[in-house]
Structure 1
Amino acid sequence: MPLTPAIAEWAGQPLRDRVVIVTGGAQGVGRGIAQAVLGAGGSVMIADLDAAAGKACLQEWALPDRAAFQRTDVASERSVQALLKATLKRFGHLHGLVNNAGLASAHGTPLAQMTLAEWQRRLSSLHGAFLCSKHALPALRKQAGAIVNIASTRAWQSEPDSEAYAAAKGGLVAFTHALALSEGPQVRVNSISPGWIATDAWQAPARRRTPKLSRRDHAQHPAGRVGQPEDIGALAVFLLSELSGFITGQDHIADGGMTRKMIYAD
């Protein structure tokens, strides 16, 4: 079983003494963001449905004073309220919220056969961003805080049978700029649209794998490689910190240049 990369320390510690909630923070991109927050000197509450993955993070990080876990269903208002209560009880205040939780798979049932229940379930990342932002905003306003919503390049380009996922991620981008105008200047709100991010090594220990990536996989990207959770974590830290104090209401595409690449069928 491969080891998830260790927490990388940031020079200058731009999130020192700041508290950040990361939903879906126990694995994948969310874990990459949570580790980046810790490396930048911050404290993190990871919220995730997977209790085993959450507990594994705390054990592997061994930072009990700055990391905590709360099992959370971001589609349940009661669960989100409990998350905010637990965060404030543990850390006393809140400076940042990263709305990352949601279904990872972009492909669903063809639209003509999709039930309303599946459609609603596949919009969970959008519902979660609404509920978490709603209940976090009172605390964030007190600290001139920041929200980062994790969207996707699928908000801008698509494949067949991905309508619900695209709607959720496109909705997050629109939700971002609308909320930025509603909450500015007290709270800044931005989104990140990741492209292809290799998360195999960032799962719970039982599901952790070394990514199987070919030269062709890497070569598809103008940056020369497939993305890693650390790439999204670094951008999230920037957007959560005072380094980005003049940036709000924006979507930031982190895809190694793929959405700028013209692709023609042979």
Structure 2
Amino acid sequence: MTAAFPRTVREAIDFVLDPVRTGRTKIADLDNVEKTFVGLKIEHFVRDLLDAPKGLRDLVIDGQDVDVKNTLDNSWMIPPETYRREDPCLVINSKEQDSRCWMGVMLARDSYLNAPNRDGKRGVSAAAIADVLWIVEGAKYPESVWLPFDMTAFRDLRDNIPFGTKRMAEFLRQNLEQPIHRSVVQALLYDQYDYMKRVRGNGGARDLLRTEGIAVLSGVYDNAILEQLGRNRLSREEVIAIAPRTDVEHARMIELGLIDG
């Protein structure tokens, strides 16, 4: 759960952001209505993660109806139908500024709640946070793979370069030394059947760029080479384009067969 839930939060956020279509990469880019959609999507994904059916409330756990409450700002609002009987709530919090998330269980006890607002909902008091039984507490969730990129330039490439290899090569030129997740490659090359082929050699961007003194390396095969060249290792889902920073490095990359002399 500690591993699966943070990934679920990331997937729900990205689903609502929809970076490829909207160019947005941060929750701050959303309006207030859309932020409520993040909570709804997390709720749907968590229900699937827990394999818990929907009941009278948001889900049923061990025969008990449970409300799911999500927040991006430490404020869960509990409705009257839940606090009247002090029913259980699954409370979720996610903080984009440090990419951490929480999920826990609490009872909607009168002593845990603030006064009702105009809608009759009651916020959870700050003191009651200590009474939440945390299932996941402050777990790091993956940062967005889209954050490093200029999304205006990304969409421009998608719209204006029809050939997949040329499109990929230009994206790599624009993002030298930046690890690129395969999901970004897939979105960039949305119209290509074998999108990763456009990155590799044998006619892909790697062959095109090596003549320009740019090497394209993969986290699957090339981490040892990256370490030799003083770069960080990549995950198995990432590729990177690098150019020599010194004459010595230039000679070494030619020696390794990464670029043409």
The interval holding the TM-score normalised by the smaller chain is under 0.3
Q: Point out which structure has higher relative CO (alpha carbons under 8 A, 6+ apart).
A: 1
More strand by share: 2
Provide the TM-score with structure 1 as the length reference. Answer: 0.26
Decide which structure has the larger Cα Rg and report it: 2
More helix by share: 1
